Chain A
Amino acid sequence: EAGVVQSPRYKIIEKKQPVAFWCNPISGHNTLYWYLQNLGQGPELLIRYENEEAVDDSQLPKDRFSAERLKGVDSTLKIQPAELGDSAVYLCASSLDLTGASSTGELFFGEGSRLTVL
């Protein structure tokens, strides 16, 4: 079974430039998450989707960040314009059931997209 796929793996941009990250979750997983992970820290939730609906975006900086999940499958996270402090790893995860975790409590993570803003 294919895992969560993210691209690009690495992105280097100059500040004020836009950037987009793409995520393809595990087939059949209706819940999709975008997490932000700073160096030496644990992942922090940015946004959660149930199918195509963003049901928790309270931690998403909406002035510069946007996300979409068309048709309830793939998702894109965009930053425009990027700032120096946005340098981090952006992790996508998916899970099977509506409570935010499968029966084993597992979120399946992709390998992440590492952003460097110069």
Chain B
Amino acid sequence: EDQVTQSPEALRLQEGESSSLNCSYTVSGLRGLFWYRQDPGKGPEFLFTLYSAGEEKEKERLKATLTKKESFLHITAPKPEDSATYLCAVQLPYKLSFGAGTTVTVRA
């Protein structure tokens, strides 16, 4: 069965303290892996799509990487405005299947 597991569930960081979020997946024939950011009371907002192992994408302080079994979202020198829930999702035929998310809190 296709499955997406994110860890840790929650992450508390000091401003400037870099860290990584993990998304492991079991999918037959990955079509794409997506990262979304979700702020409280808002819908998910698209960040990245990765399609093949070894691929990397960056946006400001965020960098997403992909292997054959997992993806990492690296947050470099985070700021309080990076506080959010980060969701990963795998592309299945005609839909995205989401993990439960990692809630990141960055303290000033």
Question: Is A53 on the interface with B (CB-CB < 8 A)?
Answer: no
B69 to chain A, nearest CB (A): 19
Of B12-20, B38-46, B72-80, the segment with at least 4 beta carbons within 8 Å of chain A is: B38-46
CB atoms of B91 and A40 under 8 A apart: no
| Contacts A42-B89, A105-B32; A99 near B94 (Cβ below 8 A) | yes
CB atoms of A105 and B91 under 8 A apart: yes
A74 to chain B, nearest CB (A): 17
Number of interface residues of B (CB under 8 A): 23
Contact of B98 among A42, A110, A114 (CB under 8 A): A42
Contact of B95 among A41, A56, A106, A112 (CB under 8 A): A56
Q: Which residues of B contact A (CB under 8 A)?
A: 4, 9, 32, 34, 41-46, 49, 87, 89, 91, 93-101
Some 25 contacts from A to B, beta carbons below 8 A apart, are A4-B43, A40-B101, A42-B4, A42-B98, A44-B98, A45-B96, A45-B97, A91-B43, A93-B43, A100-B91, A101-B49, A101-B91, A101-B96, A106-B34, A106-B49, A107-B44, A108-B46, A109-B44, A109-B45, A111-B42, A111-B43, A112-B41, A112-B42, A112-B43, A114-B41
